[in-house]
Amino acid sequence: MNNDATPPGELWFRRYAPSDDAAVRLVCFPHAGGSASYFQPVARALAPKVEVLAAQYPGRQDRYREPCVDDVRALAHLAALALREWDDRPFALFGHSLGAMVAYEVARHFAAAGDRGPVHLFVSGRRSPTRHREESAHLLSDEGLVAEVTALGGTNPKILADPEMRSLVLPALRSDYRAAETYRHGPGAPVRCPVTALTGDADPRTSLEEAAAWEAHAPAGAFELLVFAGDHFFLNDNADGVVAALRDRLSAFTTLG
């Protein structure tokens, strides 16, 4: 891919199930070490009424030659600018783990600009931005970081076990962990759309109380918490339920059954 010639909107977002007639778009942001391809199943499940735009962060897959971005707000700023090329119809935001923080800051970006922003914000597998935990996995050795990621799940262990593949994914993984672990909530425009938090009931990184605390960052009366069985990657084992929840909450913009 020629990054110099590729428009930011196409550089940042992948359309695995293009639908030019979709009434609404769902913009998805992956977890630390994740990539746009993680959302291929979601894109196919929601098409054609909802078109999924899956974010591809710099430094991985077809963007592996680009420098990684190790700051949540910087990621959100770049993503929001690219998203303006897709503003011809309503859009919602979904993010898992690190992606939840990026999606949240993207929503704040649009609110601060006074522009039409997302119609819904879905934050998955992440505690409220004002529920801070001191974490420093990004400072671990390569072996320590691999052990941390393996224990949490969500990354194919065969990739981390292969020295060549591991050397390709570790820079982006460490950068993403640095972004997530050094993020601190700061002043800014409040989110203006409904917020739905999704969490696993056995997630070691997010307690139910920490997930419920997202309510403080939603408009009054426009928050809900959905709890699924599972750990940090509960959505892998509850794909049908998660997709159904997304479909239901976007149904006001579609004729989905």
What residues are labeled active site? 97, 232
| R_g of the chain computed on alpha carbons | 17
How many other β-carbons are positioned within 10 Å of the β-carbon of residue 110? 22
Nearest CA to 33 out of 197, 232, 240 is that of 232
Q: What are phi and psi of 126, to 5 degrees?
A: -150, 140
**Percent helix, strand, coil in the chain (nearest 5)?**
45, 15, 40
Instruction: Tokens for 232, please give them.
Output: 């940090």
How is the beta sheet containing 24-29 ordered, strand by strand? 13-14, 50-55, 24-29, 91-96, 121-124, 195-200, 223-228
Q: Are 57 and 172 in contact (CB under 8 A)?
A: yes
